[in-house]
Structure 1
Amino acid sequence: ERRASDKERNKDLIKARIEAGPPPGLLAFEDGKAVGWMQVGPRADVPEWNNQGRGSAPVDPADAGDPAVWAISCFFIRVKARGRGVSHRLVAGGIAFARANGARLLEACP
């Protein structure tokens, strides 16, 4: 759906997804400024990530659509914030976030 839409439509889609919850990722802040982002949430929310031709394909294909099987699938860290452990802190926060939102399994293939 994202590939078929324009920039404005994609903004609307992500806004609706955030409002519906859970949010599709976590932000890392430093001095009040966002310095990093990590995508974390149910695998089913990222269908292309479940593609059997990718290394991220689930070992058990039934896990691809299970809302309790979550994944960490993407990071963005600002250049000036790299090398300072931001991604490690995001992962720790992502594990806690997944647990708090009912994940029974969390995979990572960023």
Structure 2
Amino acid sequence: MPRIMIEPATADRFDDAQRALTGGGDGKSCQCQWWTLTNAQFDATSQDERRELLRDEMADAPPPALIAYVDGEPAGWVRVGPRTRQVRLARTRAFAASEEPWDDEGVWAVTCFVVRREHRHQGLNAELLDAALDYARAAGARVVEAYPKDPRAGKKIPVNDLYHGVLSTFEAAGFREVARPRPDLAIVSLDLRG
């Protein structure tokens, strides 16, 4: 049985973050900056500039994500933090049905999962989500919101779009569906006070 540890993405773990983000999908080019920048800002930055933005984020508190290690090797990543720091969320029409005010610092969001190819299909997303909830709770978050895809909706979802997470993982963690902007996209929420 592999040994899994999940740690905050702090500045001293930058190289580990790069390893976790480069195992497949868009993590390497995005550098987990998609939700932190407007569309125009994202399009105006290079991969190297986004990497430096991530480095700066990891030097600030709270760290913007968690890194999963499998037997000591960086294997996965989940972005979790105050929703107000992920500016694109409030500008995304599909998420307008959120029940929470966009300026509420007590609302955190889980927005991005990356799992290296060699560690997929082992339940690592569920482990990352559980750790993200503990992390948010310890930091004083009131609510955690997410925007997962639902492959059960009958529409084939490209693998690169699964960075949102999969609805069934959030349901298993106790999230409730708040809205369904599209058949394959849900808004889910978990009140951490309960």
- Name the TM-score class by shorter chain: 0.7 to 0.9
Task: Give the equivalent residue in structure 1 for 2:50.
Answer: 10
Q: Structure 2 residue aligned with 1:80, among 118, 123, 133?
A: 118
Task: Give the equivalent residue in structure 2 for 1:108.
Answer: 146
Question: Deviation string for 1:55-110 (max 9, x for gaps)?
Answer: 475223x2x22221101111111112111110000010000000111101111222
User: 1:5: Cα distance to partner?
Assistant: 2.3
Question: Which structure carries more relative contact order (alpha carbon 8 Å, separation 6+)?
Answer: 1
The farther-off stretch of 97-106 and 16-25 is 16-25
Task: Give the equivalent residue in structure 1 for 2:159.
Answer: none
Q: Structure 1 residue aligned with 2:63, among 14, 17, 23?
A: 23
Unaligned runs of 5+ in 2: 1-40, 148-163, 165-194
- The total of aligned residue pairs comes to 108
Structure number with greater Rg is: 2
Identity %: 31
> TM-score, normalization: structure 2?
0.51
Task: Give the equivalent residue in structure 1 for 2:89.
Answer: 49
CA–CA separation in structure 2 for the residues paired with 1:56 and 1:25: 24
- Residues 19 and 9 of structure 1, relative CA distance in 2, 3 Å threshold: same
Task: Give the equivalent residue in structure 1 for 2:22.
Answer: none
Contact 1:51 1:57 (8 Å CA) reproduced: no
CA–CA separation in structure 2 for the residues paired with 1:27 and 1:16: 16
CA–CA separation in structure 2 for the residues paired with 1:2 and 1:14: 13
Contact 1:38 1:76 (8 Å CA) reproduced: yes
Unaligned runs of 5+ in 1: none
> TM-score, normalization: structure 1?
0.86
